[in-house]
Chain A
């Protein structure tokens, strides 16, 4: 079976559905918060109002899409580089504390260079090392932001 083409119109339906689910989830979670009374509004009142509003607006987006004439332009999101950049970022974040900022920044920069360029390993390693060192000097030493040392330092 062929995959449906992702167009602006289809994308609007998907995002509207996701927003509706976010609103609905927030509404359900808000029921566990004290709503209070008008004279002393509780913690759950405002989130409830906002979640109901989000659900209504997302339904309105979906409904208004029904008679939309344009929106057939294809939208491409399957760009390998873009997703690898953010995937690498998540792994870098998870390993930031245990491995340490300096090695993790170096590894991430090396990964990005090999992903985005045709440079050889030596140039990439040198640039990665320089960026990690530069980042450490700028943020840790000059700006006083203590970066995690990790298990190696």
Chain B
């Protein structure tokens, strides 16, 4: 009941300006999800500098809107173009596009939007009810436990990655090493600055994120500039049949719960939840061989799952200060810039940020259904803009956005360099989001370690004193052992195949 009281306060404190920022965020997120060339990470990074001048509540509301807006927007291109606007919409392509080819893009779009709405709403409820009590429990953790937990989170992220575990670990370490550039927060010593005062404040998250995700995406898309054939639904054809709604009910509920669970665990990406949801719906179906030919369940389940991660993925950020998914790493940066330290104290010290965000997410969810169903024609027409016009527009936004973050043109060069790095790393299948996670968490991991060592006067036993810390360390060792076993099994299988 207390949660509802706080939620009421959250709604009451939500100004028209914040609702406007929420609308801006979800509109921009939908655009970013629909249009090729950016993606939610770069789209969020572009808005990040704008939030520096805002109230922290307004800034987080706008940034959160980008993320779940992009989830909605990505499904539009998946269904109409067979091209996922966002990685999490890959599974929607399979059956969504087939439905569009059979003359039923409208029901696919509407069910995707409704599934996203239900998934998003349930996820916000979970955030509302689980985050505050978990934060109370986590108040007991100190810097030693914080260090062990963040190391466990980084190891878990590399273990559950879709790409090679070693490559992901390398990216995590590289990200943390990049975070060391600049002034050491404890002693003021300048690290890796090569005598340039521009690097005294360290590398900026904005040029790195926009370079790695935005510029590299543009470089990849520029390899083959295609003219896209878009299936355009009429407003009348948007109406689903009663059978579509009946068949979607179960998948939407199941997908929502799958997404909520996956969103909560750091490292398991929202993309994985869509694969799991699709697999479960196919398993439960009477005619699983029909999946891939235009089954509505193949759209409803994954779309609900990917939006259901949005709320619960904020729980580790607000309760532990650890971003569960790459997009929330940028929210962490935004909060830190405003002097708000995400963690167990945050909900207590800054309730207006937390409850204001939850209230805005309810509103944002409704705005997205309004934007994505009747306005689908508008977004579809955007897809007809020739790519040769989109690229310069996006690049101008990237340049001005990066310049706006620090007013240093050297950051534009940094963005270009990371664009090249991102392009090459993508080609060789290295995990880019984990590099950003390592960069954002690197400072905090180092600070927790040094604080813990200072408090314990050099005793390493500080990391084994409390039961929390022991649990995190043991879990980290288990993850390392599992990785070694998986690697050895792969090696032995390879040797056996050679012998055969």
- Contact A79 B223, beta carbon cutoff 8 Å: yes
A-B contact count (CB 8 A): 190
Query: In the assembled complex, which residues on chain A have CB atoms less than 8 Å from the CB atom of B191?
Result: 33, 43-44, 47
Query: In the assembled complex, which residues on chain B have CB atoms less than 8 Å from the CB atom of A109?
Result: 392, 395-396
> Closest approach, in angstroms, between the C-beta of B152 and any C-beta of chain A?
16
- Contact B187 A11, beta carbon cutoff 8 Å: no
Query: What are 18 A-B contacts with C-beta separation under 8 Å?
Result: A11-B428, A12-B428, A22-B177, A38-B459, A38-B460, A39-B454, A46-B449, A54-B170, A76-B223, A85-B215, A89-B416, A90-B413, A96-B399, A105-B399, A105-B400, A116-B387, A131-B392, A147-B400
Whether B220 sits at the interface, judged by CB under 8 Å, is yes
**Also in contact, A37 and B428, with CB within 8 A (given A61-B170, A82-B223, A90-B416):** no
Query: In the assembled complex, which residues on chain A have CB atoms less than 8 Å from the CB atom of B167?
Result: 12, 61
User: CA A15 – CA B424 in complex, angstroms?
Assistant: 9
> Closest approach, in angstroms, between the C-beta of A45 and any C-beta of chain B?
8
- Contact A50 B176, beta carbon cutoff 8 Å: yes
> Closest approach, in angstroms, between the C-beta of A106 and any C-beta of chain B?
10
- CB under 8 Å from chain A, chain B span 382-425: 386-389, 391-393, 395-397, 399-400, 403-404, 407, 409-410, 412-413, 415-416, 419-420, 423-425
Whether A29 sits at the interface, judged by CB under 8 Å, is yes
Query: In the assembled complex, which residues on chain A have CB atoms less than 8 Å from the CB atom of B413?
Result: 90, 93-94
User: CA A96 – CA B494 in complex, angstroms?
Assistant: 53
- Contact A81 B222, beta carbon cutoff 8 Å: yes
Whether B186 sits at the interface, judged by CB under 8 Å, is yes
- Contact B166 A135, beta carbon cutoff 8 Å: no
- CB under 8 Å from chain B, chain A span 83-111: 83, 85-86, 89-90, 92-94, 96-97, 101, 105, 108-109
> Closest approach, in angstroms, between the C-beta of B168 and any C-beta of chain A?
10
- Contact A92 B170, beta carbon cutoff 8 Å: no
- CB under 8 Å from chain B, chain A span 58-83: 58, 60-61, 64, 67, 69, 75-77, 79, 81-83
- Contact A69 B409, beta carbon cutoff 8 Å: no
- Contact A135 B189, beta carbon cutoff 8 Å: no
User: CA A63 – CA B250 in complex, angstroms?
Assistant: 47
Interface of B is mostly: helix
Query: In the assembled complex, which residues on chain A have CB atoms less than 8 Å from the CB atom of B457?
Result: 39
Closest chain A residue to B185, Cβ basis? A43
Query: In the assembled complex, which residues on chain B have CB atoms less than 8 Å from the CB atom of A26?
Result: 177, 192
Whether A125 sits at the interface, judged by CB under 8 Å, is no
- Contact A64 B487, beta carbon cutoff 8 Å: yes
**Also in contact, A82 and B388, with CB within 8 A (given A54-B170, A77-B427):** no
- Contact A86 B215, beta carbon cutoff 8 Å: yes
Whether B180 sits at the interface, judged by CB under 8 Å, is yes
**Also in contact, A50 and B222, with CB within 8 A (given A41-B453, A43-B186, A139-B404):** no
- Contact A8 B428, beta carbon cutoff 8 Å: yes
User: CA A42 – CA B429 in complex, angstroms?
Assistant: 35
Whether B50 sits at the interface, judged by CB under 8 Å, is yes
> Closest approach, in angstroms, between the C-beta of B497 and any C-beta of chain A?
7
- Contact B166 A60, beta carbon cutoff 8 Å: yes
- Contact A15 B458, beta carbon cutoff 8 Å: no
- Contact A50 B177, beta carbon cutoff 8 Å: yes
Query: In the assembled complex, which residues on chain B have CB atoms less than 8 Å from the CB atom of A112?
Result: 388, 391-392, 395
User: CA A46 – CA B147 in complex, angstroms?
Assistant: 13
- Contact A75 B189, beta carbon cutoff 8 Å: no
**Also in contact, A89 and B458, with CB within 8 A (given A8-B428, A15-B425, A96-B412):** no
- Contact B399 A22, beta carbon cutoff 8 Å: no
User: CA A79 – CA B225 in complex, angstroms?
Assistant: 12
User: CA A85 – CA B225 in complex, angstroms?
Assistant: 13
Query: In the assembled complex, which residues on chain B have CB atoms less than 8 Å from the CB atom of A90?
Result: 413, 416
Query: In the assembled complex, which residues on chain A have CB atoms less than 8 Å from the CB atom of B450?
Result: 41, 46
User: CA A126 – CA B449 in complex, angstroms?
Assistant: 56
Whether B169 sits at the interface, judged by CB under 8 Å, is yes
Query: In the assembled complex, which residues on chain B have CB atoms less than 8 Å from the CB atom of A94?
Result: 409, 413
Q: Which of B169, B416, B458, B494 contacts A67 (CB 8 A)?
A: B494
User: CA A132 – CA B222 in complex, angstroms?
Assistant: 22
Query: Top 7 nearest A-B pairs by Cβ distance?
Result: A38-B458, A39-B458, A93-B412, A117-B388, A145-B404, A43-B184, A82-B219
- Contact A11 B427, beta carbon cutoff 8 Å: yes
Whether B299 sits at the interface, judged by CB under 8 Å, is no
- CB under 8 Å from chain A, chain B span 179-206: 180, 184, 186-187, 189, 191-192
Query: In the assembled complex, which residues on chain A have CB atoms less than 8 Å from the CB atom of B396?
Result: 105, 108-109, 131-132, 135
> Closest approach, in angstroms, between the C-beta of A95 and any C-beta of chain B?
9
Query: In the assembled complex, which residues on chain B have CB atoms less than 8 Å from the CB atom of A19?
Result: 170, 174
Query: In the assembled complex, which residues on chain B have CB atoms less than 8 Å from the CB atom of A75?
Result: 427-428
Closest chain A residue to B451, Cβ basis? A41
> Closest approach, in angstroms, between the C-beta of B70 and any C-beta of chain A?
21
**Also in contact, A116 and B391, with CB within 8 A (given A46-B446, A86-B420, A147-B403):** yes
